[in-house]
Each structure stands twice: as C-alpha cells, then as structure tokens.
Chains A and B, each alone.
Chain A
Amino acid sequence: MSNGLIKRAALLGALGLALLAAPSVAEYGDVVLNKVSEKNGVRPVVFPHWFHRVRFRCKVCHSELAFKMRAGANVVTMADITNGKFCGMCHNNQIAWGADKCDLCHSGKPGLKSGIYGGHQTSGPGRW
C-alpha cells in the first residue's frame, strides 16, 4: 500500500463526509405560501414548480388560472380553491387530489416565510 494511495483514500473519505453533511436546500423553484396558512392554524403550503411543470405548461397556471409570476403576489384562499379558482381548477378530486387532503399541500415547516426557495448560486433575484 503506497503513501499516495492512502492520501487519495483519505481525501476521498473527507470529500464523502463533506457531501453527506451538505446543507438542506429546497428544490429549484419551490414556493412557500404562508400569507394566511399559519394564521389559520395549518402548515404553510409548499408549491413545487418541478412537479407541476412535468404535467402542465407554465401558461396553464400563469395565464388560464391567473397566477401572477411573483412569489407573494397571489392571495389564495381556501374559499377560492373550493370554488374552483386558482389551485381549485385542478385540485378538485378530478384532475388532482381535492381540498380535503389538507396535509398534501399544507406540508411546509411551521414558521417559514412566503417566497421562492431553492435558489441557484445567484440566490435568486434580489427582490425575492
């Protein structure tokens, strides 16, 4: 066993530990909605863009459903949703799970602020 190999193994070991200890980061484009959630005793909502864009083009939500393209600019109430607006256009137990499955959307950590998470190395635009 050569010294060089030992050094290489040690380096790889250290790198492995560093990767295991990588910080928790949300997925790119994840949005937390907490304008009204916690005030009403439920967890914040996590909206994953990645999950939705596999199934729908941006224009469906940002044109047909009228979601503004700015995290925090949309006030979405449960009344809207059960009336078929915003998320309720699909989350109606027909296209996607319905509003009775609270925990599936209200899945965020308590105390999180509304906004877009999972930014890249730019940390997302300054306004967010």
Chain B
Amino acid sequence: MASTLAGLPLLILLLVSVIASAQVSQAARKWLPLAADGIHDPKNPSLRLLQEPAESLSRLPADTAGNQVHWLQALEGGAINPRTNILPGTQVMVIDLDIYLNMKGGTPIVRFPHRAHTLWLDCSNCHQHLFVSKAGANKLSMNAMLNGEQCGVCHGAVAFPLTECNRCHNTPRNKPLPAGALRGL
C-alpha cells in the first residue's frame, strides 16, 4: 500500500508530462480561440458563429511566422483561390518581373518578385506613392520599413514580418545575377 502511495506523485508527474508533450507538438502550429484572443468580446452571443482561425488556417501550408500560413504557397498551390475582383470591369494585372535591390549593402541582395506581389495586389497599391516605377529611382531604408513605411506598410503588419530577413535578402552577392537582371539601388 505504502509503495503504491509513494508512486502517486510520480504518476501525476508522468501524466502532466504526457499532456505537456501533446502541448509541445501542437505548439508548432497553434491558434487561439477567438474568445481567448484578447480582442474579441467573449460575452458576445454571436461569437460562436464566427469561423475560428484554427479551423481555416490549419488546412493551409505551414509557416513559422505571422498567421503560421505560407500565404503565397497557399495561393500558388491552389489551397485557396481568392477572388481577384468584384467589379466586372476591373483590369486584373499580374506581372512577372524581378528587381534586384540592396546592390551595395552588406546583407545579401534582395530579389523583389513582382509576380508574388501582383498575384495579391494591384499596381496602384505601391505605385507611385510608395515606389516610383523605375529601377534605381527608389531609396529604400530598413529604418523606414520598421516604421511602417515602404515595404513595411504590409511586411510587419499583414505580410510576413521583418524578422524574416532571408526571405527578401535571398540572393548571394558572390554569384552573377541572371542575364538582363534589372538592378535598383
């Protein structure tokens, strides 16, 4: 009897560790319920009618930052097919044009892909008020981005955050760029 009782704390500890392991494996991708996210009012009787993030986002390609969804992969792989327009007359533009930036910096060169951006955005979302449509005409600054300007209008708010350095600074300096590559500053 005494030996059984002595084993009890151990048993509890083991049980807790099993629950904890489950938590750890889920921690890879975990979304808070709306009622516990700190901005929804849990007293709202209609809250249960809203879709929970986990229900939608857990089905999409994984990422480690932001919504924990790789949104571009979700779009290109067909996991989602968001509408491009509501008005029938809207001209939907997608352009495939890379611009290489940060040509003189210490960090790797930035390859800016117009395609990935125009799949989501309209030209007018960035041009001409954020960036002039001319390679070499825009002076970019990480400080401005961290303050919500330039790329930081989206990256750090809704698009992958600025802590994901390598996703933009993705092109080694010691290898030649593709023939005819457009270079910015």
CA distance in complex: A49, B82 (Å) = 13
Interface flags for B41-72 (1: CB within 8 Å of A; 0: not) read 10011110111010011001000011101010
Central interface residue in B69, B125, B156, by most chain A CB within 10 Å = B156
A122→B87 contact, CB < 8 A: no
Return the chain B residue nearest A109 by Cβ.
B41
Q: Tell whether B17 is near chain A: CB-to-CB under 8 Å.
A: yes
Interface flags for A40-72 (1: CB within 8 Å of B; 0: not) read 000100101111011111111011110001110
Residues of B close to A29: CB separation below 8 A = 66-67, 157-158
Chain A contact patch, size range: 35 or more
A12→B37 contact, CB < 8 A: no
Chain B contact patch, size range: 35 or more
| Cross-interface CB contact of B56 among A23, A54, A64, A124, cutoff 8 Å | A54
Q: Tell whether B163 is near chain A: CB-to-CB under 8 Å.
A: yes
Residues of A close to B20: CB separation below 8 A = 12-17, 19
B145 to chain A, nearest CB (A): 7
Q: Tell whether B124 is near chain A: CB-to-CB under 8 Å.
A: yes
Residues of B close to A120: CB separation below 8 A = 65-66, 156, 161, 163
Residues of B close to A104: CB separation below 8 A = 46, 49-50
A28→B67 contact, CB < 8 A: yes
B163 to chain A, nearest CB (A): 6
CA distance in complex: A25, B147 (Å) = 21
Complex interface residues of chain A between 87 and 128 (CB less than 8 A to chain B): 89-90, 95, 101, 103-104, 107-110, 112, 116-122, 124-128
Which chain B residues have a beta carbon within 8 Å of chain A's beta carbons? 10, 13-14, 16-17, 19-21, 23-24, 27, 31-32, 34, 36-41, 44-47, 49-51, 53, 56-57, 60, 65-67, 69, 71, 80, 82-87, 90, 92, 119-122, 124-125, 145-149, 152-154, 156-158, 161-163
> Which 10 A/B pairs are nearest by Cβ-Cβ distance?
A16-B20, A125-B148, A24-B38, A103-B46, A120-B161, A63-B122, A13-B16, A127-B148, A59-B122, A12-B17
